[in-house]
């Protein structure tokens, strides 16, 4: 259930100046704020609202294929019919299990609604209503543009600022912020002169592990180990904004709550309607290419990360990065090994 690898096409379908790109960017902001948007596909148009905070438009709820499969339905985007009650619909979207009265296969609008919710870091479930009932000024976008947006955005990273930063790990790094067309950043921490075969760590942001020192994961330990090696040997750390394997901090905390009920890290993500790993490595591949690298020694235990970069034309020689095993992260690490194929 890992998110499919992004295409490595050099010319994305959308560009930041396209009206469709701009419409999707604005729609993401509306969904993040809990306001409905209209999604069009051909002659069909529906109003879509996030279940976690937006108005309930009807008893029709668009859910992802991952969530549908978890509930025992066909693993495809699905529209569920239920009482137009927030608690009932939220249970269908987020509870460990839920009772469903009826359902039907969802189309491109249902898929686009879920993708918009993901990009807004909402739960990927949206109530659907008649577009004719949209309030004046409600934003609209096309389903096809929504589904093309993520891969198009990855190719818009550009360096915007750089400065030397002394590291506690014992070296001075040149730190460069790469910003994309909607303001998201990838931070490149470079020590020494890097060339072919450079030591590289692509690290996903983890507030709980990197900043709070959480013992539930090994992220903070891996970050410190990687910085120590780069400080002593030279190399690059790319810090990417893909919290919780790409589902965002709020959804990661929801997944933690499900783990406390007995689910492992994979099933908790799937139960919320996500792939077990939603991260995309196209932006990281684009930044490495701009830094002049086509071949790297990649500090990772995750074969999917190496495959994601290789799909962008970056040749990877995996280098293990093993953090400490503790009573708090033992189950988490065992799940990464047994269910996600990590080399631990």
Cα–Cα distance measured from residue 200 to residue 314, given in angstroms and rounded to the nearest whole number: 11
Classified as helix, coil or strand, 232 is helix
Active site residue 277: yes
Q: Is the pLDDT of residue 336 over 70?
A: no
Among residues 145, 264, 276, 277, the one annotated as catalytic is 277
Q: pLDDT category, 332, cuts 50, 70, 90?
A: low
Active site residue 105: no
Question: For the segment 74-130, what is each residue's pLDDT rounded down to a tens digit?
Answer: 999 999 999 999 999 999 999 877 778 788 888 999 999 999 999 999 999 999 999
Among residues 40, 52, 279, 280, the one annotated as catalytic is 279
Question: For the segment 309-331, what is each residue's pLDDT rounded down to a tens digit?
Answer: 999 999 999 998 876 677 765 56
Question: For the segment 255-269, what is each residue's pLDDT rounded down to a tens digit?
Answer: 999 999 999 889 999
pLDDT above 90: percentage of residues in the chain: 76
The lowest-confidence range among 9-18, 158-167, 172-181, 294-303 is 9-18
Query: Which CB contacts under 8 angstroms, 24+ apart, belong to 264-268?
Result: 264/331, 264/335, 264/339, 265/332, 265/335, 265/336, 266/1, 266/335, 266/339, 266/340, 267/70
Global pTM value: 0.90
Instruction: Say what the pLDDT of residue 9 is.
Output: 42
Domains by residue range for the chain, with CATH: 19-152 (3.90.870.10), 156-340 (3.40.50.10990)
Cα–Cα distance measured from residue 280 to residue 274, given in angstroms and rounded to the nearest whole number: 13
């Amino acid at each position: 259930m890992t998110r499919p690898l992004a295409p490595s096409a050099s010319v994305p379908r959308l560009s930041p100046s396209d009206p469709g790109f701009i419409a999707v960017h604005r729609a993401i902001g509306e969904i993040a704020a809990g306001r409905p948007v209209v999604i069009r596909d051909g002659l069909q148009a529906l109003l879509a609202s996030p279940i976690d905070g937006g108005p309930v438009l009807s008893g029709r709820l668009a859910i992802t294929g991952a969530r549908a499969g978890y509930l025992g339905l066909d693993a495809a985007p699905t529209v569920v019919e239920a009482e137009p009650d927030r608690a009932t619909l939220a249970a269908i979207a987020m509870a460990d299990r839920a009772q469903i009265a009826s359902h039907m296969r969802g189309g491109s609008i249902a898929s686009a609604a879920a993708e918009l919710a993901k990009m807004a870091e909402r739960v990927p479930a949206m109530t659907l209503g008649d577009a004719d009932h949209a309030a004046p000024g409600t934003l609209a976008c096309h389903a096809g543009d929504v589904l093309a947006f993520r891969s198009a955005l990855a190719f818009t990273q550009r360096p915007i600022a750089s400065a030397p930063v002394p590291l506690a790990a014992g070296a001075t790094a040149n730190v460069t912020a790469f910003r994309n067309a909607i303001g998201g950043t990838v931070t490149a921490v470079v020590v020494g002169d890097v060339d072919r075969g450079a030591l590289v760590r692509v690290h996903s942001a983890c507030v709980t592990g990197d900043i709070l020192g959480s013992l539930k994961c090994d992220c903070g330990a891996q970050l410190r180990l990687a910085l120590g090696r780069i400080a002593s040997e030279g190399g690059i750390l790319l810090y990417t904004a893909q919290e919780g394997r790409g589902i965002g901090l709020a959804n990661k905390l929801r997944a933690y709550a499900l783990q406390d009920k007995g689910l492992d890290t994979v099933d908790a993500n799937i139960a919320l309607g996500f792939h077990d790993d939603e991260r995309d490595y196209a932006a990281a591949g684009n930044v490495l290419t701009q830094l002049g690298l086509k071949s790297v020694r990649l500090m990772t235990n995750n074969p999917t990360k190496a495959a994601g970069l290789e799909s962008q034309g970056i040749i990877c020689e995996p280098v293990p990065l093993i953090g400490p095993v503790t009573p708090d992260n033992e189950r988490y690490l065992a799940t990464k090994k047994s269910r996600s194929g990590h080399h631990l």
